């Protein structure tokens, strides 16, 4: 089961979307790294790295062709050909979990791997294992799939099976971050969930 193919450089449905203002997010939250699950053909990666900010870029994709394309395009990105949950477990493993101030872009859905909708597992892992997660920004793509009336971007009838996901309530996706982040929804494109740190710049202190 696959999404329609991702077109490299698409201005919709990725980090290049005007709905996200990525450059502002990176500057406002002093972000030093981006972690992307499901890098596809590198549209988001290319946009993020074109903004002129020094960034370490980590990513994964279960599709070997996607990894090949991205490695060719951005040789210094740190890329793994694996499913998103294994990738995050590895990145966040003790004794030295990944700790840089990060923006997480969760876009790995409906791949070849049997776990077609790993979003809640990804969010739980990041919230539980990332040091200083209260400073990080989390962006989730494709939230139009989450079938729950509490989700402002769920428009009944827009999508058919198998893209409509009703195994978890909307509140379950935001719960791991509710104490540390504020919840925002962007209705544009395929819909984004944006989790922004409650902690202010002054509380974060000098970088």
List residues binding ligand SAM (CB under 6 A).
Answer: 3, 6, 14-15, 36-40, 43-44, 60-63, 66, 83-84, 107-111, 113, 115, 118
Considering beta carbons, is residue 71 or 113 the nearer one to ligand SAM? 113
Is 111 or 191 the residue whose CB approaches ligand SAM more closely?
Answer: 111
Give me the least distance between CB of 42 and ligand SAM, in Å please: 6
CB of 47 to ligand SAM, least distance (A): 8
Indicate the residue among 85 and 195 with the shorter CB distance to ligand SAM.
85
152 near 187, Cβ under 8 Å? yes
Q: Are 106 and 79 in contact (CB under 8 A)?
A: no
β-strand partners of 195: 138, 183
Nearer to ligand SAM, 98 or 110 (CB): 110
Query: What is the H or E stretch that residue 89 is in?
Result: helix 84-91
Q: Please say which residue, 164 or 199, places its beta carbon nearer to ligand SAM.
A: 164
Is the backbone peptide bond immediately before 107 cis, with ω within 30 degrees of 0? no
Least Å distance, CB 36 to ligand SAM, is 6
Residue 202 CB, shortest distance to ligand SAM, in Å, is 32
| Owner of token pair 């925002």 | 184
Quote the least distance from Cβ 92 to ligand SAM, whole Å. 15
Residue nearest to ligand SAM (CB): 111
Least distance in Å: CB of 29 to ligand SAM?
A: 19
Distance from C-alpha of 88 to C-alpha of 60, rounded to nearest angstrom: 9
Region of residue 52 (phi > 0: left; psi between -120 and 50: alpha; otherwise: beta): left
What angle, rounded to 10 degrees, do the helices at 119-129 and 84-91 form? 0
CB closer to ligand SAM out of 38 and 176: 38
Answer whether 45's CB lies under 8 Å from 39's CB.
yes
């Amino acid at each position: 089961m696959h999404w329609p193919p991702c077109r490299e450089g698409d201005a919709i449905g990725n980090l290049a979307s005007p709905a996200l203002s990525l450059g502002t997010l990176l500057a406002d939250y002093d972000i030093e790294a981006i972690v992307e699950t499901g890098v596809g053909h590198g549209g988001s990666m290319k946009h993020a790295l074109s903004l002129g900010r020094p960034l370490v870029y980590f990513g994964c994709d279960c599709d070997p062709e996607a990894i090949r394309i991205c490695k060719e395009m951005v040789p210094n990105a740190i890329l793994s050909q694996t499913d998103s949950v294994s990738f995050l477990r590895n990145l966040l493993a003790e004794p030295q979990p990944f700790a840089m101030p990060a923006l997480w872009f969760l876009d790995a859905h409906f791949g070849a791997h049997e776990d077609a909708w790993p979003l809640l597992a990804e969010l739980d892992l990041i919230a539980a294992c990332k040091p200083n997660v209260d400073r990080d920004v989390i962006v989730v793509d494709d939230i139009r799939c989450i079938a729950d009336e509490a989700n402002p971007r769920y428009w009944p009838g827009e999508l058919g099976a198998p893209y409509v996901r009703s195994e978890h309530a909307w509140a379950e996706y935001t719960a791991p971050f509710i104490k540390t982040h504020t919840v925002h929804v962007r209705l544009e494109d395929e819909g984004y969930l944006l989790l922004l740190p409650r902690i202010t710049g002054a509380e974060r202190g000098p970088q």
